[in-house]
């Protein structure tokens, strides 16, 4: 007696729940990376303030007074420097956390197999 193989069914249903879950996970990754980047900036100001709140506030006050007194060209240059530094730090954090970008869902893998 011959065995008749059933062709695999093409399940073209879109798993909207998993797409929303993956989207939420990626958005959490982006928000967490942003918070870590801001934390690096705070750590930098703590470092130049000798790891004291008074020293950090003193440096921030000095930077604020110079920022308010600067002309438009210097402000654009400062914004460009801060933007580039922010992108470099974010890129480094994303590189070291690249394993956490997509959600791990073993149950979904088992369901598909």
Q: Could you tell me how far CA 66 lies from the centroid of its own chain? A: 30
Q: What is the mean pLDDT of residues 93-100?
A: 94
| pLDDT for the residue 28 | 95
Q: Collapsing DSSP states into helix, strand and coil, what is residue 93?
A: helix
Q: 3-state DSSP call for residue 11?
A: coil
pLDDT of amino acid 14: 82
Q: What is the DSSP string of 56-85?
A: HHHHHHHHHHHHHH--HHHHHHHHHHHHHH
93 is written with which tokens?
């954090």
In terms of pTM, does the model score above 0.85?
no
């Amino acid at each position: 007696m011959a065995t008749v193989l059933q062709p695999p069914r093409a399940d073209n249903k879109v798993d909207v729940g998993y797409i929303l879950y993956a989207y939420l996970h990626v958005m959490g990754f982006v928000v967490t990376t942003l918070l870590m980047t801001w934390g690096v900036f705070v750590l930098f100001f703590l470092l130049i303030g000798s790891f004291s709140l008074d020293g950090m506030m003193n440096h921030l006050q000095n930077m604020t007074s110079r920022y308010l007194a600067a002309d438009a060209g210097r402000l654009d240059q400062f914004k460009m420097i801060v933007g580039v530094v922010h992108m470099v730090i974010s890129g480094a954090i994303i590189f070291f956390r690249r394993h956490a970008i997509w959600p791990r869902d073993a149950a979904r893998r088992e369901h598909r197999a």
